[in-house]
Chain A
Amino acid sequence: DGGITQSPKYLFRKEGQNVTLSCEQNLNHDAMYWYRQDPGQGLRLIYYSQIVNDFQKGDIAEGYSVSREKKESFPLTVTSAQKNPTAFYLCASSPWTSGKRTDTQYFGPGTRLTVL
């Protein structure tokens, strides 16, 4: 089955540690995205990547880093510089068909990160 995998579903880390969240897709999508959700708030864009080896900052990129070495993978690192890292993190992807980016975003199940 095609889809987006995020692991783990729940993640606990001590304050001051960097942590990397996994996002893998087998949909052959060019574009991938990371969003953050806080209780009672909507999802906000952290980073996105339109193509391998390229990525752009979203609305709240400070304290985060990403890489896009492979088309199917877009890991997000929450660094110790992120002041409030406890949140729900959602990965998404979308296709690029015939050179035109489409708007159909497919979402992963999410990872809930708790920093103690």
Chain B
Amino acid sequence: KNEVEQSPQNLTAQEGEFITINCSYSVGISALHWLQQHPGGGIVSLFMLSSGKKKHGRLIATINIQEKHSSLHITASHPRDSAVYICAVSNAGKSTFGDGTTLTVKP
């Protein structure tokens, strides 16, 4: 069992839909990251969380430290949101990554 589990593995949505991607982890962490990887490979760091909730535009990330769970929400999804979303947890300066969730938003 991976230390970081993401669900779903693949997600297809219609433009405008509200999207949730989940991340559960089984190790102690100091921070959790949500990354976005577009086709072609470039990775963008979306959020770094250690507690609570963060919002950036249409993206919202939450974390529950007690339950070892985080969610990434996308409101009013758009085809340009199509990408792989990766959850990573870090502790003592090293990160462990989930396998990613491939999101496809259709117009």
A88 to B39, CA, bound (A): 12
Contact code string A7-18 (vs B, CB < 8 Å = 1, else 0): 001000000000
- What A residues does B35 contact at CB under 8 A? 107
Given contacts A104-B48, A105-B33, A106-B45, contact A94 B93 (CB under 8 A): yes
Structural contact, A103 and B93, CB atoms closer than 8 A: yes
- What A residues does B42 contact at CB under 8 A? 9, 109-110
Given contacts A103-B31, A107-B43, contact A43 B93 (CB under 8 A): no
Contact code string A33-65 (vs B, CB < 8 Å = 1, else 0): 101000011111100101000000000000000
Q: Chain B: how many interface residues by the 8 Å CB criterion?
A: 27
A48 (CB) vs chain B CBs: closest residue = B94
A42 to B88, CA, bound (A): 9
- What A residues does B15 contact at CB under 8 A? none
- What A residues does B88 contact at CB under 8 A? 43, 105
Interface check B95, CB cutoff 8 A: yes
Contact code string A76-116 (vs B, CB < 8 Å = 1, else 0): 00000000000010101010000001111111111010000
Binds A, one of B60-68, B74-82, B97-105: B97-105
Structural contact, A50 and B93, CB atoms closer than 8 A: yes
Q: Chain A's interface: helix, strand, loop or mixed, by majority?
A: strand
Interface check A23, CB cutoff 8 A: no
Interface check B72, CB cutoff 8 A: no
Chain B proximity of A10: nearest CB distance (Å):
9
Structural contact, B97 and A42, CB atoms closer than 8 A: yes
Enumerate B1-54 residues with CB–CB distance to A below 8 Å. Answer: 2, 4, 29-31, 33, 35, 40-45, 48
A102 (CB) vs chain B CBs: closest residue = B93
A105 to B50, CA, bound (A): 13
Q: Other CB < 8 Å A-B pairs besides A50-B93, A107-B44, 10 of them? A: A33-B95, A40-B99, A42-B97, A42-B100, A90-B43, A92-B95, A101-B93, A103-B30, A105-B93, A110-B43
Q: List 15 A-B contacts (CB under 8 A).
A: A31-B93, A35-B95, A42-B2, A42-B96, A42-B98, A45-B94, A45-B95, A101-B92, A101-B93, A103-B29, A103-B93, A104-B31, A105-B45, A107-B35, A112-B41
